[in-house]
Amino acid sequence: MERKNLFIKQMAIDYCCTEEEILNGENRFHTFVPQEGRRRFQQDKECFLKIAALRNKLLFAGDERIIGWCRERFGKENGAWFMQPAKLRELDRELSRYGYGIDFMHPFFVSYKPSDLAPHPYEIRYFRDDEIEAFRGDPRFSYALSFSKAAPDRIAVTAYEDGKILGMAGVSEDSRYLWQIGIDVLPEARGKGIGVLLVNLLKNEVLAEGKVPYYGTAFSHTLSMDIAVRTGFHPAWTELFAERTDNKKENA
Q: What are phi and psi of 98, to 5 degrees?
A: -110, 10
d(CA 26, CA 252): 30
Rg of the chain in Å (alpha carbons): 19
Q: Rounded mean pLDDT of 68-89?
A: 95
The per-residue pLDDT for 252 is 33
CB atoms within 10 A of CB 232: 19
Q: Is the pLDDT of residue 250 over 60?
A: no
Q: Is the pLDDT of residue 8 over 60?
A: yes
The reported pTM is 0.90
Q: Which residues of 86-108 are buried (b: 16+ CB within 10 A; e: fewer)?
A: eeeeebeebbeebebebbeeebb
Q: Rounded mean pLDDT of 208-229?
A: 94
Per-chain mean pLDDT for the chain: 93
Q: Is the pLDDT of residue 251 over 60?
A: no
Q: Report helix, strand or coil for 187.
A: helix
Q: Is the pLDDT of residue 80 over 90?
A: yes
**pLDDT (tens digit per residue) in 93-114:** 999 999 999 998 999 999 999 9
Rounded percentage of the chain residues whose pLDDT exceeds 70: 95
β pairing state of 28-31 and 57-62: parallel
The per-residue pLDDT for 188 is 95
Q: Rounded mean pLDDT of 197-203?
A: 98
The per-residue pLDDT for 46 is 76
The residue with greater pLDDT, 212 or 150, is 212
Q: Is the pLDDT of residue 39 over 60?
A: yes
Per-residue pLDDT band for 247 (boundaries 50, 70, 90) equals low
d(CA 190, CA 188): 6
With a CB cutoff of 8 Å and minimum separation 6, the contacts of 159 are 122, 123, 124, 165, 166, 167, 168, 189, 194, 197, 198
**Max Cα separation, the chain?**
61
Task: Kindly give the residue spans of alpha helices, DSSP state H, lying in the chain.
Answer: 3-14, 19-23, 64-74, 85-96, 194-208, 222-230
With a CB cutoff of 8 Å and minimum separation 6, the contacts of 157 are 124, 125, 126, 127, 168, 169, 170, 198, 201, 202, 205
Q: Which residues of 37-76 are buried (b: 16+ CB within 10 A; e: fewer)?
A: ebbbbbbeeebbbbbbbbbebbbbbbbeebbeebeeebee
**pLDDT (tens digit per residue) in 156-168:** 999 999 999 999 9
Residue-range domains of the chain with CATH: 3-109+238-244 (no CATH), 123-232 (3.40.630.30)
Q: Rounded mean pLDDT of 244-252?
A: 60
Angle in degrees, CA 39, 80, 41, rounded to 5: 15
Q: Rounded mean pLDDT of 49-59?
A: 95
- The DSSP line for 49-113 is EEEEEETTEEEEEE-HHHHHHHHHHHTT--GGG---HHHHHHHHHHHHTTTEEEEEEEEEEE--S
